[in-house]
Amino acid sequence: MDIEGRRDEAVGRIRLGMVGGGQDAFIGAVHRIAARLDDNYVLEAGALSASADKAVASGRALGLADERIYTSYLEMADREAARADGIEAVAGNFGPAYPDGIFIAQDGDNGAKAQNFKLVRWDQIAAALWL
């Protein structure tokens, strides 16, 4: 099965990471295609499977660089946050720790270091905003 939804040119697009949706996962292709519909996203990184072999094969099939293929979303968040060109948005299921999603923000106070991201459960943000 082909893995659909990859575009090579990233100019002016939001850098997207994906959790799940690797080989043999129908919904992954659907999410990637949906992300491409408005032409605002480019897939740059992925934790596409908990199986290392499947994650690597899936990432390579999508044209991801080997150093941006991960086996867990926590590893992806940690390593992408350390990159100056790290991902800016993530599509996927983040499991029971983040049942309603996750909000990630960069505080801009880093000097010459890489990006400084904060991860917050979406339900905490929604409660603070009375949503």
pLDDT reading at 104 higher than 80? no
Question: What's the rounded mean pLDDT across residues 102-128?
Answer: 74
Residue 60: which H helix or E strand, with range?
helix 52-61
Distance CA 77, CA 84 (A): 13
What are the tens digits of pLDDT across the range 1-24? 445 555 455 557 889 999 888 988
The pLDDT, as a whole number, for residue 92 is: 75
Across the range 108-117, mean pLDDT stands at 64
- How crowded is residue 87: how many other Cβ atoms within 10 Å of its Cβ? 25
Q: Which DSSP helix (H) or strand (E) runs through 81? A: helix 73-81
* CA nearest neighbour of 92 among 114, 116, 76, 115: 76
DSSP letter string over 5-64?
---S--TTSEEEEEES--TT-HHHHHHHHHHHHTT-EEEEEEE--SSHHHHHHHHHHTT-
Q: Give all domains of the chain, ordered by start, each with its CATH number.
A: 14-100 (3.40.50.720)
pLDDT higher at 102 or 55: 55
Q: Which residue has the higher pLDDT, 113 or 55?
A: 55
Element (H, E) at 15: strand 14-19
Q: What is the pLDDT of residues 49-82, one digit of tens each?
A: 989 999 999 999 999 999 999 999 889 988 998 8
